[in-house]
Structure 1
């Protein structure tokens, strides 16, 4: 997926996450990107990002739904931007399968402009609190 504007990243990530579309998610990143997942796994590059998210979406995050909150965009330098997106996650499960309620989370991403559009070079998805 090609982003023409870095401000499109949070919505594109959220839609792909909710659709469990791993190819679209990894396509938002540069080939050598770093991603720190919601469960704390550190993935380096497309293949690792896809493996981490595949395992999380099949397990811990299988029923998770994202509800978008506040978004903040910050130009860092020409061709570089930071996106921050707040989410409320529902559908989390405790180890015994019971509902774990809702939590707040923030997705923070550093994007660079490439000849094909904007891509993420580094992102962290972390729970608030």
Structure 2
């Protein structure tokens, strides 16, 4: 589903993540996008993003839930914007299978208006340092 406004990007990301819908998640990115994931993988392009996200959602994040926190949108003119979105991540599994507890994260995405809607050309999903 296309994102009609930059404000909808984080909600669409969260919805696709929670549904474990890799195709929907990858569709939020431009064909040649870069994505730095929570595990530190740097995926370049949709195919690499799909491979990386598939592995992550089947691994440590198989049961992970996202709860939305503070958001900030910075328009960069009519065709681009930067979105910052805090999430609290829960249900993450440690390598030994134990629960990692609640983790504060930040999704930062540089968005561009395209014929397919607003898409990320570059994004980082990081653990928030305290």
Please give the TM-score of this superposition, normalised by the length of structure 1.
0.96
Aligned equivalent of 1:10: 10
* Structure 1 spans left out of the alignment, 5+ residues: none
User: What is aligned with 1:51?
Assistant: 51
Q: Secondary structure at the match of 1:124?
A: strand
- 2:67 alignment partner, SS class: strand
Runs of 4+ in structure 1 deviating by more than 4 angstroms, as ranges, are: none
1:40 equivalent in alignment to 2:40: yes
Q: Distance in 2 between matches of 1:113 and 1:99?
A: 38
* Offset from partner CA, 1:74-93 (integer Å, 9 cap, x none): 01233110011100000112
Instruction: Write the mapping of 1:94-109 to structure 2, written as runs, cut at 5 A.
Output: 94-109=94-109
Name the TM-score, length of structure 2 as normaliser.
0.96
Corresponding pairs, count: 129
Distance 1:116 1:57 in 2: 25
What is residue 120 of structure 1 aligned with on the other side? 120
Alpha-carbon shift at residue 97 of structure 1 (Å): 1.0
- How large is the RMSD of aligned CA atoms in angstroms? 0.9
- By how many angstroms is 1:115 displaced? 2.5
C-alpha separation in 1, matches of 2:96 and 2:115: 48
Match of 1:87 in 2: 87
Name the CA distance, whole Å, in 2 between partners of 1:100 and 1:15: 22
